[in-house]
Amino acid sequence: MLKKARIAVFVSGGGTNLEALLCAQEAGNIPNGEIVLVVSSSESAYALTRAANHGVPGAAINKTDMTQEAFEARLSEKLAEYCIDMIVLAGFLSILSEAFVRQWPERIINIHPSLIPSFCGKGMYGLKVHEAALARGVRLTGATVHLVNEIPDGGRILLQKGVEILPGDTPQVLQRRVMEQAEWILLPQATQLLAKQIVQEKEHA
């Protein structure tokens, strides 16, 4: 009987969302999943250090010197090596092709630092999202966790949480508040939701 879904977390930078996932796992808040692999698109990403600090294997796969097909082949090899059931994109800046995504139907989740469909799409990532929200003058932003499919920023929304924009906010201040009040809460919750679904499907297969 499969008790835990095997999870790979894809990262590119500091890994604050990864840290939230690992801490949630250690606190018992992802009972149906286990993070068994962290994949970074950069060898220097601090996220790999965070993974090592929690005893989770890490791998760096940089597509700079290879084609998209070769890059995704390397990813697939690593995922197969660790018998991965689901993928969590936690600040992963490398683009995944539709062909790759189709191999993981309803098995990839991504977090975006806005309330989709606002402030999403090409070029909207990281601090740029918060800059856009402040420039637009909206009073509410937040974060969204969604299943990834072939449609950019598409897929079924799993969870959303609003965060108030306050007078005097800078993009950096707003980014931190969205992380603390939304991203670090939603991502573990969504990971558990999908992991539980995978376990149930495996048990009834």
Choose between 120 and 71: higher pLDDT: 71
pLDDT digits (tens, 9 = 90+) for 146-156: 998 755 445 68
Q: Predicted confidence band at 32 (pLDDT cuts at 50, 70, 90)?
A: very high
pLDDT tops 80 at residue 38: yes
Measured CA to CA, the distance from residue 108 to residue 86 in angstroms comes to 6
* Active site amino acids: 112
**Ramachandran region of residue 39, left (φ > 0), alpha (ψ -120 to 50) or beta?**
beta
The two tokens of residue 78 are 């690593």
Residues counted in the chain: 205
Query: Is the entire prediction scored with pTM above 0.75?
Result: yes
- Above 60 in pLDDT, residue 74? yes
